[in-house]
Structure 1
Amino acid sequence: MLDGEDVVAALPGLYRYALALVRDPQEAEDLVQETVTKALANATAFRGEAAPATWLHTVAYRTFVDRYRRPADLPVAEDTLAAAVDAAWRDDAYRVSPHLVAERAAQRQSLLDALLRLPHDHRSAVVLHDVEGWTAARIAEAHEISLPAAKQRIRRGRAMLVSALDGEVERRLARRGVPMTCWEARSRVSDYIDDELTGPERAGLEAHLAACPTCPSLYAALVGAHGGLGALRDADSVVPPDVAARVRAHLEALTAGTGAGATPGGEHRGA
């Protein structure tokens, strides 16, 4: 039977696990509280076949799946993202930026944000294995799945985490159905600003900007830079008097010299 000391000993790991699953500290506390309440209410169900911490994590995982997982909050549906990442990793041409991934992985908030974009079962497997140091066999026990299935969740979860940190797969999914490619759109923005596009070209670019997740910021930056440069054109600009005087004197000297048969450089032509 589960006792209070088992629960207290498992609390630090439970909280770390909950925080990685839900990201928000208050929700993590709520998840741990609900897990402990359920576990103590059903303490007789614990038969000692697994370690107390393993059983408590199983309760936490079930609670999370039942009440805290919110697919609607994800930018891309879990199944869609999982399939896209699988396809990307099977593609020999697929690559990520190792420097970008390492930089984001080193930033706690960026890493937690990336974890949130993993399907809940893969997120749990990766956290238990790579954060808590659990074996695949123990994860299989907690998730109530086979050992090969647990190993697959760890493998796929790691791949999805790398792709989430890099962000390219999600960007590709977000661009599905967007008219024209990003490069085609970006190469036309300058002509769009100068009002030199045909009607269909303008409509196509505007449709792209309305749907693309990345190009609008670049368009806004170009418009801002263009506007800033235009502001430099001050109709009330005044040339300093001494500069104006020197220019006038130079022009008068050139005019006088040319009229006397001199070249603009001041040299006289031969007779």
Structure 2
Amino acid sequence: MEQAELAELLPAEIPGLLRYATAMVRDTDLAQDLVGDTCVRALERSESFRAESSLATWLHRILHNLAVDRARSRREVPDSDIAAEVEKRWQDNDYTVDAAVVVARAETSAELHDALIRLPYTHRAAVVLHDAHGLTAAEIAEVFDISLPAAKQRLRRGRMMLVTALANGVERRESVRGVPLSCWEARRHVSDYLDNDVD
């Protein structure tokens, strides 16, 4: 694509990129910097855009790569360690979450954002791209440059981590009403979300 043609199309994509960046980093200034860097990088590499994917997908991939680079430079705990810990919790029959409270917290924007920001970047990105921006699993695979099964797994694990983060927020509160559901009961209640039919 010619640079001039891309320059005409970019303004229409900026609001979506900014929403995605803000959801990912929870810092308006950093989000704006990421979007600006994304636009500069896209213009510099306009000839590398192929119409095999949509312009939005290509721009999200650039933004994602820039954000991952920044997150890696600040990250102390590897994403794989966090993912393994959540997997371990969900396989433990004694692990419980109060599904009703998790759903109630998920409906509160501030609490949902607080839980999202606690997820490792790559898993948070998968959940936000799919559930908030409507990208398919195939498009997410393209953004991350991974296989389709890997994208689906990242999305599923991200959702599991989100449910766990929402539940952990409840555990930190001084008083929790009622008795938490058993692990299997909680899984049954949140399975519609976790096992959502991924495109």
Q: TM-score interval w.r.t. the shorter chain?
A: 0.7 to 0.9
- In 2, the alpha carbon distance for the partners of 1:121 and 1:81 equals 11
The 5 Å alignment of 1:1-271 reads 1=1, 3-69=6-72, 70-72=74-76, 78-167=79-168
- Cα offsets for 1:230-253 (capped at 9, x unmatched): xxxxxxxxxxxxxxxxxxxxxxxx
- In 1, the alpha carbon distance for the partners of 2:90 and 2:159 equals 11
The gaps in structure 2 that reach 5 residues or longer are 176-199
Which amino acid is the alignment partner of residue 94 of structure 1?
Answer: Y
Higher relative contact order (CA 8 A, sep 6+): 2
- In 1, the alpha carbon distance for the partners of 2:78 and 2:98 equals 24
Partner of 1:167, secondary structure, is: helix
- Cα offsets for 1:34-90 (capped at 9, x unmatched): 111111111111122211000000000000011245324xxx653332211101111
Runs of 4+ in 1 over 4 A off after TM superposition: none
Shift in Å at residue 24 of structure 1? 1.1
CA distance 1:77–1:3, shift in 2 (3 Å): closer
- How much identity, in percent, do the aligned residues show? 50
Contact 2:130 2:137 survives alignment (8 Å): yes
Which amino acid is the alignment partner of residue 97 of structure 2?
Answer: V
Contact 1:32 1:60 survives alignment (8 Å): yes
Shift in Å at residue 127 of structure 1? 0.5
Shift in Å at residue 154 of structure 1? 0.6
- In 2, the alpha carbon distance for the partners of 1:103 and 1:110 equals 9
TM normalised by structure 2 equals 0.78
TM normalised by structure 1 equals 0.58
Partner of 1:114, secondary structure, is: helix
Partner of 2:96, secondary structure, is: coil
- In 1, the alpha carbon distance for the partners of 2:139 and 2:66 equals 18
Which amino acid is the alignment partner of residue 127 of structure 2?
Answer: V
Contact 2:115 2:165 survives alignment (8 Å): yes
CA distance 1:114–1:77, shift in 2 (3 Å): farther
The gaps in structure 1 that reach 5 residues or longer are 172-213, 219-271
Contact 1:20 1:112 survives alignment (8 Å): yes
RMSD value, Cα? 2.2
Which amino acid is the alignment partner of residue 106 of structure 2?
Answer: A
- In 2, the alpha carbon distance for the partners of 1:5 and 1:88 equals 49
How many pairs are equivalent?
170
